[in-house]
Amino acid sequence: MVQHPGRRGGRATCARVIGIAVLALLPIVGAAGRQQASPAAPRTPALDAELPRQAETIYSGIAREFKPRHAMEVVNFMDRFWRVAGNTGFNASEEHLREFLIAAGFREGRAGRAGEDRQASRAPAESPGSVGPAVGGSVGATSAGRASGLVWYEEFPNGGNGWEVVRADVVILGASPGGATESVFSTKDRVAICINSFSTPSGGVTSPLVDVGKGTTPADYEAVNVRGAVVLADGNMRAVWQQAVRARGALGVISAVPPAPYTRPGETPDVFQWGGIPYDESLKSFGFMASRRVAQLLRARLRQGPASVAVDIETRFHPAAGRSLIAEIPGRLRPEERIVLVAHVQEPGANDNASGCGTLLEMARALQTEIAAGRLAPPDRTLTFIWGDEIRASREWLKADPARAGKVQYMFSLDMTGEDTSRTGGTFLVEKQPDPSAVWDRPSDPHTEWGRALVKPEALKGSLLNDLHLAVCLRRARDSGWVVRTNPYEGGSDHSVFLASGVPALLDWHFPDRYYHTNLDRPEMTSPPEMANVDIAIGTTALLLASAGEAEAMAVVDLLGRAADARLDLETRQSTGIVAEAGDPAAAEATERQVFEAWKKWYAEAIESVLGMPVTPAGPALRAKVEPAAAKVRARQR
């Protein structure tokens, strides 16, 4: 998941650090499968009781076919690489996914602008060794001749430099010639070296190590000369780099900036969060991120007297075209209309985001297999799966074909979908399409540590997507004991791009994760059963929306009516407490009236959005159900 601009590590301080709420109108389903009421609301019926019958058929088919080992195999493969768009590991990961899809029955080719399919050239991938799926031909239960799915690459100008590390070793030398040396960083440390670090000259360099404290202001350098040195600092990497390298001629930086508190550095002294430095071909500098243990080692050596470090780095840049992997299961009746599902490939983590890639891949395979075997009906709208560079891939896909982009009906972002919650501390979350909880802070809907996004009241537009998908998640929770929660819209992944284009979109993810953007985000922190939960829920919702008829839409009207009643009841209750505790009760009462009216408007629009759910135009019966249901919501009083 990408960082919010201006936020350290993509997080902002919140009043409630880990108080992530379920959508307050619904219960939380706990690990034992029992329902636990939200503190702000009494027990209410689970919305999964209102799901259309077709949802159960889809759910059963995907649950039957999903193979967690396939998703985990993808995680293990991608974990080998520090994946930056355009580099060897990124391309190898995409090619591995492509070969897996081919083995599962997808065929090479792409849908044309007018619905025809045409052969697509296979883009070469730089890859050290084999990139084929470990499970080989056994992945697909169907033959290529019976396949309906297509897979291809789409290229676009690369927004970065395709950076990758080949070798990165740092050794601290003894205080005297011939003294003891000790390794500080080595290539096995994976993500310690910063993105955009350049190679050192052949044979490496030996330079003084200078401790500048925090290192982010000119005052930190008044008593020291860092020209030609490697700087050790406790400040933000980019700020230190500007002061030490750009302004004063240091060769590189070792930043021991403390990681976010939820990483529990006191319990895990070897943890650090990865980072980057500005690309500057004239300076050819480098940076390393240091854990608390490494910083203590370096400072202990400096206390013995002046010290130097030997640095030997080899990195490469691949400024080739950007590339996204696209797969589709074409729709039968409305192939131009799409449900889009996106997982990003870049970043070095297992959970972020090899788990999202593996989850999406196995979803595509399971759907393809069930459809080809005749156990599930083909979708009437096209299902589009995208793997690429976060944010950029979505923007380029939308830009490449405006007519295609204009027909997207709904979108799901899969980011950090496979966490072992007992190890990471994260919890599964549905980040909702913006609703009033994204504008006004509600006790029932606290933000995560990621922090709120700026959402204006006039930008809110009600949609069926939030409650329908949450109902499907709760259906899965009934079987597996999955803990299902929600958070208000915060942004930071591919759903933000589609929302900006007017497409109803949401994010499935986990947070807070003590290993987020750290060197310890490895496969052992990933849970195949958790990926199965997310996969089955998203796949069920997506295929339901891709094939819904009027009967399914009628059921969703009832689902949304119940959700609206529960939300408005909740807002009435919690408004009473908010006003009672306010320093200015009159102002608080005015705000609470505004919030209540916003929820009414949002849910009335959500009910009306059901008219666009069926693949064929809404008939008189559906309209006759939608209009009074929306009117009922608009007529509600506090």
- Can you give the CATH number for the domain in which 243 is found? 3.50.30.30
Give per-residue pLDDT as tens, 121-132. 344 333 333 333
Question: For the stretch 6-45, what's the b/e string if a residue is b when 16 or more beta carbons lie within 10 angstroms of its beta carbon?
Answer: eeebbbbebeeeeebbbbbbbbbbeeeeebeebebbeebe
Assigned domain for 144 exists: no
Per-residue DSSP letter, 32 = T
Dihedral (CA of 197, 198, 204, 206) sign: negative
Give me the residues paired with residue 414 across strands: 343, 508
Per-residue pLDDT, 265: 86
- Residue 266, φ and ψ in degrees, nearest 5: -65, -30
CB-based contact 389:344 (threshold 8 Å): yes
| C-beta atoms surrounding 182 within 10 Å | 11
Tell me the H-state helices in 321-464: 354-372, 392-400, 402-405, 421-424
Residue type at 101?
L
> What is the C-alpha to C-alpha distance for residues 301 and 314, in angstroms, rounded to an integer?
26
> What is the C-alpha to C-alpha distance for residues 126 and 132, in angstroms, rounded to an integer?
13
Exposed / middle / buried, residue 226 (Cβ in 10 Å: 0-12, 13-18, 19+): buried
> What is the C-alpha to C-alpha distance for residues 397 and 325, in angstroms, rounded to an integer?
10
> What is the C-alpha to C-alpha distance for residues 133 and 152, in angstroms, rounded to an integer?
17
Assigned domain for 306 exists: yes
| C-beta atoms surrounding 64 within 10 Å | 13
- Strands 252-255 and 286-289, how do they pair? parallel
Assigned domain for 145 exists: no
Instruction: Based on the fold, state whether residues 378 and 519 are members of the same structural domain.
Output: yes
- DSSP letters, 181-245, are -EEEE-GGGTT-BPBTPPPPSTT-EEEEEEE-TT--SGGGGTT---TTSEEEESS-HHHHHIIII
Nearest alpha carbon to residue 470 among 23, 39, 58, 54: 23
Instruction: Based on the fold, state whether residues 178 and 242 are members of the same structural domain.
Output: yes
Instruction: Based on the fold, state whether residues 221 and 254 are members of the same structural domain.
Output: yes
- Residue 315, φ and ψ in degrees, nearest 5: -125, 165
Using the 3D structure, point to which of 261, 287, 316 is the last residue of a domain. Answer: 316
Give me the residues paired with residue 36 across strands: 28
Using the 3D structure, point to which of 515, 543, 571 is the last residue of a domain. Answer: 543
Assigned domain for 450 exists: yes
Instruction: Based on the fold, state whether residues 444 and 581 are members of the same structural domain.
Output: no
Using the 3D structure, point to which of 543, 567, 594 is the last residue of a domain. Answer: 543
Instruction: Based on the fold, state whether residues 290 and 334 are members of the same structural domain.
Output: no
| C-beta atoms surrounding 286 within 10 Å | 26
CA dihedral 599, 604, 606, 609 (to 10 degrees): -160
Per-residue pLDDT, 181: 86
Count the alpha carbons within 13 Å of 281 in the hemisphere toward its beta carbon: 4
Give per-residue pLDDT as tens, 219-262. 999 999 999 999 999 999 999 999 999 999 999 999 999 998 88
The three state secondary structure string of 588-636 is HHHHHHHHHHHHHHHHHHHHHHHHHCCCCCCCHHHHHHHHHHHHHHHCC
CB-based contact 309:229 (threshold 8 Å): no
Q: H or E stretch including 107?
A: strand 107-108
Instruction: Based on the fold, state whether residues 105 and 251 are members of the same structural domain.
Output: no
Separation in Å, CA 22 to CA 46, 488, 582:
12, 10, 25
> What is the C-alpha to C-alpha distance for residues 251 and 31, in angstroms, rounded to an integer?
52
Assigned domain for 123 exists: no
Assigned domain for 484 exists: yes
Residue type at 265?
P
Per-residue pLDDT, 435: 98
> What is the C-alpha to C-alpha distance for residues 217 and 238, in angstroms, rounded to an integer?
12
Tell me the H-state helices in 79-197: 88-103
> What is the C-alpha to C-alpha distance for residues 321 and 317, in angstroms, rounded to an integer?
12
Instruction: Based on the fold, state whether residues 416 and 521 are members of the same structural domain.
Output: yes
Instruction: Based on the fold, state whether residues 418 and 567 are members of the same structural domain.
Output: no
Exposed / middle / buried, residue 496 (Cβ in 10 Å: 0-12, 13-18, 19+): buried
Domain that holds residue 168: 164-316
Exposed / middle / buried, residue 108 (Cβ in 10 Å: 0-12, 13-18, 19+): middle
> What is the C-alpha to C-alpha distance for residues 227 and 270, in angstroms, rounded to an integer?
29
Per-residue pLDDT, 33: 32
CATH number for the domain that contains residue 156: 3.40.630.10
Per-residue pLDDT, 176: 58
Instruction: Based on the fold, state whether residues 586 and 458 are members of the same structural domain.
Output: no
Assigned domain for 183 exists: yes
Domain count, the chain: 3
Instruction: Based on the fold, state whether residues 340 and 458 are members of the same structural domain.
Output: yes
> What is the C-alpha to C-alpha distance for residues 617 and 519, in angstroms, rounded to an integer?
51
CB-based contact 253:290 (threshold 8 Å): no
Token reading at 203: 């044979």
Instruction: Based on the fold, state whether residues 277 and 178 are members of the same structural domain.
Output: yes
Please, what is the Cα angle at 292 between 288 and 293, to 5 degrees? 95
- The whole-number mean pLDDT for each consecutive block of 10 residues of the chain, a chain of 638 residues, reads 45 30 39 34 65 97 96 98 96 98 95 52 38 37 55 90 96 73 91 97 96 98 97 98 98 95 88 96 97 95 94 95 96 97 97 98 98 96 98 97 97 98 94 98 93 94 98 96 96 97 98 94 97 98 98 98 96 94 95 97 98 96 98 96
Question: For the stretch 474-488, what's the b/e string if a residue is b when 16 or more beta carbons lie within 10 angstroms of its beta carbon?
Answer: bbbbeebebbbbbbb
Assigned domain for 416 exists: yes
Instruction: Based on the fold, state whether residues 312 and 353 are members of the same structural domain.
Output: no
Nearest alpha carbon to residue 209 among 240, 193, 233: 233
Token reading at 463: 């949609």
Per-residue pLDDT, 3: 59
Nearest alpha carbon to residue 272 among 512, 11, 78, 515: 515
